[in-house]
């Protein structure tokens, strides 16, 4: 299974001219380089996860840290520098649509993220930076190429740390579309580094700060995930 994306931490480190303290995106086995075991998929066409219900958390995997379930959904919390609690769906998807309802964490350097990523390091993501109150970031990468950030965009949103907006990917063959509250923001056609392979879905909060003082605290809530038209 691919490990959670930290491309944003890498980008921030470039912007502040300091090395990122966190490991960059990687995978346990890249099928472009070697033979890998087959990944688990699903035969369901629709899968809805209400994370305000205790039982739903156990249908996902906790990759790092701990996750708590409450009235606002799954809570992923940073208590000290180095914390990066992460959960992931236990299967891969190809084409389809993934609406996610979330409430991001405030805090300088804190990133709340939803990531679709493949073993060969194709990736699309939504990321909220805790010091930004009027926009979210969305980006895509193909085959682990992070040599440029020309696919990164900042999308307008009001108060992502106090409300539960729905963010969405639509991933038909050959392109992908992103939206917030059903408003289409970006429609991207296929190119040489288009993320076009089967992906796992994960969610994470981490502190991207590379220069002291580090160690912001915060909590990120994931309320629901709806995976539709899975192929």
Q: What is the pLDDT of residues 56-85, one digit of tens each?
A: 999 999 999 999 999 999 999 998 878 899
User: Which residue among the candidates 23, 44, 123, 166 is catalytic per the annotation?
Assistant: 123
Once rounded to an integer, what is the mean pLDDT over residues 167-176?
A: 62
117-133 tens-digit pLDDT: 888 887 888 889 998 98
How high is the pLDDT of residue 12?
46
- Where is pLDDT greater, at 20 or 137? 137
Domains of the chain: 7-26+42-215 (2.60.120.200)
Cβ–Cβ < 8 Å for 209, 8: no
How high is the pLDDT of residue 17?
34
Once rounded to an integer, what is the mean pLDDT over residues 225-229?
A: 85
Average pLDDT, the chain: 77
Numbers of helices and strands, H then E, in the chain: 2, 15
What are the distances in angstroms from CA 149 to CA 11, 57, 83, 107, 138?
A: 8, 33, 26, 23, 11
How high is the pLDDT of residue 23?
35
- Where is pLDDT greater, at 171 or 205? 205
Once rounded to an integer, what is the mean pLDDT over residues 94-116?
A: 88
Residue 121 is classified by DSSP as -
Once rounded to an integer, what is the mean pLDDT over residues 27-53?
A: 88
User: Which residue among the candidates 10, 75, 97, 127 is catalytic per the annotation?
Assistant: 127
Per-residue pLDDT band at 21 (split at 50, 70, 90): very low
Most confident residue range from 24-28, 52-56, 171-175: 52-56
How high is the pLDDT of residue 85?
94
Q: Is the pLDDT of residue 19 over 50?
A: no
Q: 3-state class of 41 per DSSP?
A: coil
| Cα–Cα distance measured from residue 6 to residue 26, given in angstroms and rounded to the nearest whole number | 9
Cβ–Cβ < 8 Å for 207, 220: no
Catalytic (active site) residue 127: yes
What are the distances in angstroms from CA 53 to CA 69, 70, 222?
A: 7, 8, 12
- Candidates 76, 10, 7, 5; CA nearest to 210 is 10
């Amino acid at each position: 299974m691919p490990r959670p994306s930290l491309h944003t931490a890498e980008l921030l480190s470039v912007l502040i001219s300091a090395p990122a303290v966190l490991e960059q995106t990687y995978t346990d086995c890249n099928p472009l380089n070697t033979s890998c075991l087959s990944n688990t998929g699903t035969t369901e066409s629709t899968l809805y996860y209400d994370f305000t219900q205790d039982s739903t958390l156990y249908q996902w995997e906790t990759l790092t840290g701990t996750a708590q379930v409450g009235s606002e959904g799954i809570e992923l919390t940073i208590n000290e520098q180095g914390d990066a609690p992460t959960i992931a769906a236990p299967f891969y998807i190809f084409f389809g649509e993934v609406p996610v309802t979330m409430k991001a964490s405030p805090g300088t350097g804190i990133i709340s993220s939803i990531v679709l990523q493949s073993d060969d390091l194709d990736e699309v993501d939504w990321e909220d930076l805790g010091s930004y109150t009027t926009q979210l970031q969305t980006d895509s990468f193909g085959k682990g190429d992070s040599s440029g950030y020309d696919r990164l965009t900042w999308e307008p949103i009001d108060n992502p740390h106090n409300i539960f907006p729905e963010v969405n990917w639509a991933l038909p063959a050959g392109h992908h579309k992103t939206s917030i509250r059903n408003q289409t923001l970006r429609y991207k056609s296929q190119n040489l580094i288009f993320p076009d392979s089967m992906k796992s879905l994960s969610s994470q909060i981490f502190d991207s700060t590379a220069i002291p003082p580090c160690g912001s605290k915060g909590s990120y809530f994931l309320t629901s995930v709806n995976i539709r038209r899975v192929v």
